[in-house]
Amino acid sequence: MDQILLQILNGLDKGGAYALIALGLTLIFGTLGVVNFAHGALFMLGAFCAVGLYQLLTLEMVSIDPNNMTPWGTPAEIRQPYIEAWFGEAGSTMLNFAVPLSILVAIPIMLVIGIVMERGLVKHFYRRPHAEQILVTFGLAIVLQEIIKVWFGANPIPIPAPEAVSGSADIGSWFGFAENAISYPWWRLVYLLFSVAVICAVFAFLQFTTFGMVVRAGMADRETVGLLGIDIDKRFTIMFGIAAVVAGLAGVMYTPILPPDYHMGMDFLVLSFVVVVVGGMGSLTGAVAAGFLLGILQSFASMTEIKSIFPGIDQIIIYLVAVAILLVRPRGLMGRKGVMEG
Amino acid sequence: MSIIKTGTSRRTVLKGGAVFAGTALAAPHLFVRRASAADYLNAPTGSTVTLGFNVPQTGPYADEGADELRAYQLAVEHLNGDGDGGMLNTMKPTALKGNGVLGKKVEFVTGDTQTKSDAARASAKRMIEKDGAVMITGGSSSGVAIAVQSLCQEAGVIFMAGLTHSNDTTGKDKRANGFRHFFNAYMSGAALAPVLEKAYGADRRAYHLTADYTWGWTQEESIKNSTENIGWETVETVRTPLGAGDFSQYITPVLNSGADVLILNHYGKDMVNSLTQAVQFGLKDKQANGKNFEIVVPLYSELMAQGAGEAVKGIFGSANWDWKLKNPGTEAFVKSFGQKYGQPPSQAAQTCYVQTLLYADACERAGTFNPCAVISELEGFEFDGLGNGPTLYRAADHQCFKKVLVVKGNENPTNQYDLLEIVEEVPVEQVMYDPSIFGGELGSCNPGV
């Protein structure tokens, strides 16, 4: 039972990342009809917003300590981040909360990147075949990756979670198990809650705001909404920006789980596309549901008992499920009729 | 029109034809003469000799690669008579004079292996064919080392392996042109098991997570065999892809597997990630089978310990060398390296530095860079003063034999570099083995022509 609870949590946690990326992908596909292969790169750019802020906050002033010698016979260096030297306790707190602070930095940056990307490149490919859209956005992803590689290097850069949430939570005791029977890293719980909060916020935005209502109407019938005198293109551009923000925030919060490197977007992109296809192209709820479902399935497939019967199943489970679902229901779990069909 | 009608046209054509014919006749002769001038590939003809440093500058082992490159640059400096000479002052015996090698100034070219065999072979090939490297060294992955060693054998240059710990490098995949100073997985198991028995008892159940390539496989096999010899039971062995990053899906099944020890056959960034995540998932605080749950890292390094931070405290592993060893060679090297780079060298740096010196010394003693002559000098060579005490380069498999360190994550470090505590220096007799147990054939040396 404890193992099942742990695997569910583990799956929800992975699923949270899949769902956030797939949600952004579906938003773009649903509004603009563009298959955005640069979406993984947006996830990566979000993570590097956190890296950039962290590196800025950890810039160090170096002084020499003549009373302390190193084992190789030179005076030891004293290194202290400027932010701590200038602001003391407040500086240390800022450093400690670098990841949550990065959210504030990432939102405007990702919004601008999304809008520039849509206006500068993607809009020229609206009426082109999906294959061309995939090629051009994939090319853009490679360009963005290489820029990050040149700027930040190719090695993963570890970013710590705030100290208060860096250990693990004794979640077993919450459910009446013995002490320390089930522990789960705090930050992964934070990530899970964060992804649920972002997903709810996006749905609420689309459901309860006038802007969202118009966008939904535009997704259903773009021409009619345009005939009503609404500048639907402008709203769709903003939706592209919002999708970029969602991917970016998924990246920012993922940094303490896995040190970011320039290639991290590609690693998630393929899985996220499988999630979108399983959920149904163009279905926001489908993307979210499939994200969590596949995350949990992947997690259960890594259990010793399952792997002893099907060796290597953890590596291929997602693809097996995708094949099975597409055979039975070609438009995906919640796909709309006519989308990417015929 | 006047240009076409110039009277020189016929003469020019005749002269040109004569020059062309002469050149054509002479050319093969020139090439043959040039080829026969040297009896080995990339024989240096000028006042310099070029070495190729092929290290991971990107990928999961990039930290080790960066430190290896620092060590190589320091070795070149010392060979050329610059700096304080480092271990050139402590190496015994040595023919090196600090004036380059065989009177030629040492130069180097570098390549990025990316921790990928194909990229590593491509960069080694470029250094051999384009840059004229007479020796290739480096690596931080056994898969890469074995691939490059094989390329060097085919091309006809010496390969002085850097950090490679798989039994296969000097076991089933050994080559006449390849040499390894670093210890291997068999030695880690032989050194570590008795210490683990003393610390955790003979009644333990172990779960292995293993990097899915040659090094991981042989380490898993060696550690499994040696721990089973002391009475431990192996519950499960699970392979993980190299550079997996998030190991949570592999760590969570450990919790209810019935195991009370997790053995992490990972290295570099993979080790940092898997160990950190194992600790985050509460494995170090867990009780299983009425005992404290333990984690073991069979192959340790200071760089990994730095990356994993608090997570390494109290965790046992083995090492080839440590900068805190008390001997003249180590002290000389730590002083040179620390003064130049402001940090102590890693074991990867030490093995690469030593390999460069050993190669240079063998050339000096052989009086040539010819790989076959250099191989003869290295085979069976016994030396001291390079940080590991008396060491033998065994002729049968080109593997070095010396003391192996068992180390433990320091509970109370005195400074930021004091992360590993040396628990035991295991004598060479305890880690020595019969070269035939891993199979493979050295074959014969290849000078490249």
- Looking at the structure, tell me whether residues B62 and B91 fall in a common domain: yes
In chain B, which residue's Cα lies nearest the Cα of A300? B249
Nearest to A6 among B63, B252, B323 (CB): B252
pLDDT at A1 (0 to 100): 64
Question: How many percent of chain A have pLDDT more than 90?
Answer: 39
Q: Which residues contact A283 (CB under 8 A, 6 or more apart)?
A: A26, A30, A332, A333, A334, A335, A336
* Amino acid occupying residue B127: M
Whether A7 and B252 lie within 8 Å, measured CB to CB: yes
Q: Which of A63-67, B114-118, B157-161, B314-318 has the lowest mean pLDDT?
A: A63-67
pLDDT at A27 (0 to 100): 87
B147 lies in a domain? yes
Phi, psi for B127 (deg, rounded to 5): -70, -35
- Looking at the structure, tell me whether residues B41 and B190 fall in a common domain: no
Q: Which residues of B touch A188 (CB under 8 A)?
A: 248
Inform me whether the pLDDT recorded for B17 exceeds 60: no
Q: Which residues of B touch A6 (CB under 8 A)?
A: 252, 255
Tell whether B334 lies on the interface with A, counting CB pairs under 8 A: yes
pLDDT at B214 (0 to 100): 86
pLDDT at A284 (0 to 100): 86
* Mean pLDDT over the full length of chain A: 88
B439 lies in a domain? no
- CA of A183 to nearest chain B CA: how many angstroms apart? 6
- Looking at the structure, tell me whether residues B215 and B359 fall in a common domain: no
Whether B339 and A303 lie within 8 Å, measured CB to CB: no
pLDDT at A51 (0 to 100): 96
Residue where a domain stops, chosen among B319, B347, B364: B319
* Mean pLDDT over the full length of chain B: 89
Q: Which residues contact B449 (CB under 8 A, 6 or more apart)?
A: B35, B38, B39, B40, B41, B156
Long-range contacts (CB closer than 8 Å, 24 or more residues apart) made by A312-315:
A314/B249, A315/B241
Tens of pLDDT, residue by residue over A271-291, are 888 888 898 887 888 989 999
Phi, psi for A45 (deg, rounded to 5): -65, -35
Residue where a domain stops, chosen among B297, B319, B341: B319
What is the 8-class DSSP label of residue A335?
A: P
**CATH code of the domain covering residue B63:** 3.40.50.2300
Whether A14 and B238 lie within 8 Å, measured CB to CB: no
- Looking at the structure, tell me whether residues B102 and B217 fall in a common domain: no
Q: 């060796």: which residue's tokens?
A: A311
B225 lies in a domain? yes
Inform me whether the pLDDT recorded for B21 exceeds 50: no
Inform me whether the pLDDT recorded for A255 exceeds 60: yes
- Looking at the structure, tell me whether residues B357 and B314 fall in a common domain: no
* Amino acid occupying residue B43: A
Whether A154 and B277 lie within 8 Å, measured CB to CB: no
Q: How far apart are CA B329 and CA B319, in angstroms?
A: 17
Query: Quick one: which of B265, B293, B296 has its CA closest to B407?
Result: B296
Q: Which of A67, A70, A171, A253 to mutate to test the interface with B (most CBs of B within 10 A)?
A: A70
Tens of pLDDT, residue by residue over B185-243, are 999 999 999 999 999 999 999 999 999 988 899 999 999 999 999 999 999 998 888 77
DSSP-derived 3-state class of residue A67:
strand
pLDDT at A338 (0 to 100): 57
Tens of pLDDT, residue by residue over A123-182, are 888 888 888 988 999 999 999 999 998 898 877 888 999 999 988 888 878 877 777 777
Tens of pLDDT, residue by residue over B338-359, are 999 999 999 999 999 999 999 9
Residue where a domain stops, chosen among B268, B290, B319: B319
pLDDT band of A342, cuts 50, 70, 90 = very low
pLDDT at B62 (0 to 100): 81
- Looking at the structure, tell me whether residues B385 and B396 fall in a common domain: yes
B434 lies in a domain? no
Give the max Cα distance, chain A: 79
B441 lies in a domain? no
User: What is the total count of domains within chain B?
Assistant: 2
pLDDT at A339 (0 to 100): 54
pLDDT at B229 (0 to 100): 96
B425 lies in a domain? no
Q: Which domain holds residue B217?
A: 186-319
Nearest to A71 among B57, B62, B338 (CB): B338
- Looking at the structure, tell me whether residues B154 and B237 fall in a common domain: no
- Looking at the structure, tell me whether residues B240 and B379 fall in a common domain: no
How far separated are the first and last CA of chain A, in Å rounded? 46
- Looking at the structure, tell me whether residues B220 and B276 fall in a common domain: yes
B430 lies in a domain? no
**For B81, how many CA atoms within 13 A lie in the half-sphere containing its CB?**
9
Q: Which residues contact B252 (CB under 8 A, 6 or more apart)?
A: A3, A6, A7, A10, A299, A302, B281
Q: How far apart are CA B322 and CA B135, in angstroms?
A: 26
Whether A155 and B249 lie within 8 Å, measured CB to CB: no
Inform me whether the pLDDT recorded for B150 exceeds 60: yes
Nearest to A155 among B62, B236, B241 (CB): B62
- Looking at the structure, tell me whether residues B250 and B330 fall in a common domain: no
- Looking at the structure, tell me whether residues B360 and B313 fall in a common domain: no
pLDDT at A128 (0 to 100): 85
Tens of pLDDT, residue by residue over B48-98, are 999 999 999 887 678 889 999 999 999 999 999 999 999 999 999 999 999
Query: Quick one: which of B383, B373, B378 has its CA closest to B395?
Result: B378
- Looking at the structure, tell me whether residues B118 and B169 fall in a common domain: yes
B419 lies in a domain? no
Q: Which residues of B touch A307 (CB under 8 A)?
A: 238, 253
Tell whether B198 lies on the interface with A, counting CB pairs under 8 A: no
DSSP-derived 3-state class of residue B101:
strand
| Conformational region of residue B343, where left means phi above 0, alpha means psi within -120 to 50, and beta covers everything else | beta
Q: Are A57 and A102 in contact (CB under 8 A)?
A: no
